[in-house]
Chain A
Amino acid sequence: MAPSYTHNFNHAGFKGKVEIPTGLFINNEWSTSKDSNAKTIDVVNPSTGESITAIPEGLPADVEVAIDAAHKAFNTTWGTNCPGFERGKYLIKIAELMERDLDILASIEALDNGKTYAVAKSFDVTESAAVFRYYGGWADKIHGKVIEQSAQKLAYTRHEPVGVCGQIIPWNFPLYMFSWKIAPALATGCCVVIKPSELTPLTALYMTKLFKEAGVPAGVVNVIVGYGPTVGNALATNPRVDKVAFTGSTPVGRKVMEAASKSNLKKVTLELGGKGANIIFDDADLNEAVKYAAQGIFFNHGQTCCAGSRLFVQRGIYDKFAEKFAHVAAQIKVGDPFDANTYQGPQVSQTQYDRIMNYVECGKQEGAKVLTGGNRHGKQGYFIEPTVFGDVTNNMKIVREEIFGPVIVMSAFDTEDEVIASANDTNYGLASGIFTSDLSRAHRVASHLKAGTVWVNCYNELHPQIPFGGFKESGIGRELGEYALENYMEVKAVQINLGKKCAIPVDL
């Protein structure tokens, strides 16, 4: 009897019982761990701090079995054994099933992660389905090149699937990150063993039902919930895993890369942290800039690697901006994710809550000025008030380190060169924003910012078609767009001799 959890949803957006298989999903079957030492993992509702359910823990022994299954599928039913357009059809089917179960998936995500149901529905689930659709369209269009054709030689490249990929994803956009990893991997013909975050496993587990319903062959997708040091480490170190993809914090990303290097030098792609610089010039549309600056940090409760968490406002408009911004921040409605009026739900866990509040304290002690917020919201769950710090300097901890919460630091600047230098004065390089009505300045500043994404007069815009990833310590490689396919491909050059004789000086 495969373990499962049934939740009875009863909110304005969706009423009904939803069954979520909670076992380890290996070879299209759900089970508990092979390892008798395995315990259960408590899945907590961040709005209340209470347990939702306990699910079976996966351990390295289970990862071995999953890797077996993935290799078998890669050599028989998937990889180059399954033509691109067939793989594409599966991906489109998955997207259609997600669209069918939109309300269910959004409800589960809101319950498990704490993001609002409204955003889970309009953004997380909708965009995740769009990502599957997008890569469904790529699957039969993964072209190599014909590079040389002459009487002497025909040279061409094949873009072949890497093989079995380990994927480790975070808790801030559980389903969305799941789609970013799985869709391009499957499109290229890879098979995966994916570890969802132990904090937010429920939508990934529900997806296993949809994979089975779509008819995806056994072993192509394997889902194991477990901890980083056990399951995550097993994936990063296993010599039969050809490639590992990780999204999460920079310190853990470092560990993954070390483990990959020490074992079989498996290919590594990383999407790590950020400390996004959002730059507001004095010719910006002020009200739009204020709104985007707020969205840039408070979207997803600040739990976004690309959050615009450092605000640089040109001195001429600083005071006016600060006043409007504090006013807007104070309007952000914090509360129950299932309340249609809520914008900001709880942080994902006690640990995250403590970390963020620690930074807030630190900021106060370092002399930054609290313009608004800075306290817990309510008495139950992990809610934090939207918090704005002013008068910060580049050396403060709250300016240098990623807080990953609804906390933004704001400072004034005078010149373009000065703000570019400040914006780039960080080990991170994930995303940034520029607000200006001067077209030349927009292009010029965009060309100087060391960030993988530059948003001009907008923020937090993500689309399946547009690549995303980090400069510097924010990551290696790009996800989304055509670029993501490269993460899951090996290029093989084939050179066919048509008429050349070997020139070695010997007699025969």
Chain B
Amino acid sequence: MSTHAELQVPSLGKVTVPVGIFINNEWSPSSFKETFATINPATGEKQLDFAHGSAADVDRAVKAARKAFKTTWGNNIAATERAAALNKLADLMERDSDKLAALESINSGKGVRIARDADVADSVACLRYYAGLADKFFGQTIPHFGKEKFVYTLHQPIGVCGQIIPWNYPLLMWAWKVAPALAAGCCVVMKPSELTPLTALVLCDLAKEAGIPAGVINTVPGLGATTGDAISRHMDIDKVAFTGSVVTGRRISIAAAESNLKKVTLELGGKSPMLVFDSADVEEAAAWTAMGIWFNSGQDCCASSRVYVQEGIYDKFLAALKKKAETVAIGQPHDEATSFGPLISAGQRDKVLGYIETGKKEGARVVTGGQKWPKSGGGFWIEPTILADTTLDMKVVQEEIFGPVIVAAKFKTEEEALELANTTSYGLAAAVFTNDARQATRITAALDAGTVWQNQYALLHAGVPFGGFKQSGIGRELGTYGLEAYTQVKAVHQNLTQTVEWPI
């Protein structure tokens, strides 16, 4: 197979894109000569064939990464040089913003305007944030030892890191992984999702153009069970970072433990609750809730997929939310007006429809939506859906649906609201809507979630940490905390005057 292919893209015309494996700044086909295909979520048609990386390809990538780590990256160059390379890559992403947005849109189904103004822009901001942090991650000097010894810590890059990213934000998840890893001095072996490998591969060429040395970023497309597993089990990968489902996260964690006990960080699923109190502005709460559940068509780990409304305003809130559902900008990805596109695949679409049916059977009331979008054609749209009057024991309340379906219920007291919110194995995000400042602070302290939004939802920033309590994950990404995942602490004891008595 060739390492490149042609793709017809609205607004770009015919584009040549990479579909091979990127190791040591060079393209190659899979050692198996095997491929896998991607589907256009807006049409259901086959899009491209990509190289399916084998364990041997992963091994080759690891060797390239290890070599770079020992010679041209890591602490072999100054942190300011790593920073300059990341900034240069950010510049190139900005230069190619329209192209990247169009490719992201056609591969993932996102509206092209959103891909450009959110996904590409936020990815660039993430790279620039970590470029600025690279030379500012200090160790400590620990001065308690007087004349006896000089003690300090070094924050050293972990080494070769495997990174496995999902299909819901292909470009942004790439930036969240690559930026801190490279800033810290690590080299990566990246497996993009087999549903959306396109932009990750295009970025490899930009990385090369930015002057990032060969072997620092290696990309091996493939499937989880094969390529992903090879990464999780590789004996010379020092750390694996994964974003995706709890089920897969568990598998990766087990594989890491069974192989070389490599460090593991996980960003997994969520079933994040919104708590809307009587004092809240109902229109404002409905607007943010709509953003929280229908942005990216609900395919977001921190989607506000449960909403609990104080009984006094329950009906008013549902009416307001229904209006938002009915005025969502649903449409074709290439249309600039679209901000609600199809789900990523037939499988996901059917899974969501399955949950809606289950919800109905369990007694939930469909306030709006609940079906395929009539204009779907061959694509995978589902209408924004509200399931009301749900109870804690329902499947649709406990399990992550990962689609544009929100479950709603009412509550009386603050204690009841917290109980409902926290009765879940997840803990990624949550929100409280209230005009009572003390209540907001109190509730925030009590919610078991890694991010709590007060009177808003969904907004993330490169400088603010993000990650899960409970089964939503291990570790934090973004912010200065995000650098910790890619460094290890070495304590140095420098003896100045201590002696050892013998026998002790």
Contact = CB atoms under 8 A, between A and B. Distances in A.
Interface stretch (A18-26, A131-139, A301-309, A317-325): A131-139
Interface residues of B, number: 26
B132 A137 contact: yes
Interface string A64-96: 000000000000000000001100110010000
A397 B128 CA distance: 52
Contacts of A34: none
A444 interface: yes
Nearest to B79: A465
A141 B441 contact: no
Interface in A464-508: 464-465, 482, 496, 498-499
Interface in B128-149: 128-129, 131-136, 138, 147
A154 B147 contact: no
Contacts of B437: 496
Contact of B480 (A84, A141, A444): A141
Contact of B138 (A143, A482, A498): A482
Contact of A141 (B80, B150, B463): B463
A29 interface: no
A67 B442 CA distance: 43
A143 B136 CA distance: 13
B503 to A, nearest CB: 26
B95 interface: no
A447 B494 CA distance: 14
A85 B87 contact: no
B441 A440 contact: no
A386 B286 CA distance: 76
Given A85-B128, A498-B442, A137 B133 contact: yes
A136 B135 CA distance: 12
Interface in A352-405: none
B497 interface: yes
Chain A binding surface SS class: helix
A45 B326 CA distance: 74
B445 interface: yes
Interface string A176-192: 00000000000000000
Contact of B135 (A137, A443, A496): A137
A440 B133 contact: no
Contacts of B136: 137-138, 141, 465, 482
B463 A85 contact: yes
A136 B134 CA distance: 12
A130 interface: yes
Nearest to A130: B80
Contact of B496 (A92, A130, A138, A444): A444
B125 interface: yes
B132 A440 contact: no
A440 B497 contact: yes
B421 to A, nearest CB: 18
A140 B132 contact: yes
A133 B494 contact: no
B301 interface: no
Contacts of A151: 442, 445
Given A92-B87, A444-B147, A444-B496, A140 B463 contact: yes
Contacts of A40: none
Given A85-B463, A137-B83, A149 B129 contact: no
A140 B445 CA distance: 25
Nearest to A139: B132
B445 to A, nearest CB: 7
A439 interface: yes
B251 to A, nearest CB: 35
Interface string A409-422: 00000000000000
A133 B128 CA distance: 11
A136 B132 contact: yes
A85 B129 contact: yes
B438 interface: yes
Q: From A139, A143, A443, name the one whose CB has the most chain B CB atoms within 10 angstroms.
A: A443
Interface string B402-427: 00000000000000000000000000
A138 B137 CA distance: 11
A93 B43 CA distance: 43
Interface string B82-101: 01000100000000000000
Interface string B193-229: 0000000000000000000000000000000000000
A387 B71 CA distance: 44
Nearest to A496: B441
B125 A137 contact: no
Contacts of A130: 80
Contacts of A482: 136, 138
Contacts of A440: 496-497
A188 B129 CA distance: 16
B133 A133 contact: no
B135 A134 contact: yes
Contact of B445 (A84, A133, A149, A464): A149
A507 B441 CA distance: 29
B496 A498 contact: no
Interface string B424-449: 00000000000001100110010000
Contacts of B138: 482
Given A440-B497, A498-B441, A498-B442, A141 B132 contact: yes
Interface in A225-241: none
Nearest to B444: A154
A447 B146 CA distance: 9
Contact of B80 (A89, A133, A139, A149): A133
A482 B494 CA distance: 25
Interface in B302-340: none
Contact of B129 (A140, A439, A444, A447): A140
Interface in B472-497: 480, 494, 496-497
The 6 closest A-B pairs by CB, nearest first: A137-B132, A440-B496, A443-B150, A140-B463, A465-B135, A443-B496
18 contacts: A84-B463, A85-B125, A85-B128, A88-B132, A137-B133, A137-B136, A138-B136, A140-B132, A141-B132, A141-B133, A141-B463, A143-B480, A443-B494, A465-B135, A465-B136, A482-B136, A496-B437, A498-B442
Interface of A: 84-85, 88-89, 92, 130, 133-134, 136-141, 143, 149, 151, 154, 439-440, 443-444, 447, 464-465, 482, 496, 498-499
Given A84-B463, A143-B480, A440-B497, 18 more contacts: A85-B128, A88-B132, A133-B83, A137-B132, A137-B133, A137-B134, A137-B136, A138-B136, A139-B132, A141-B132, A141-B463, A149-B445, A151-B442, A151-B445, A154-B445, A439-B496, A443-B496, A498-B442
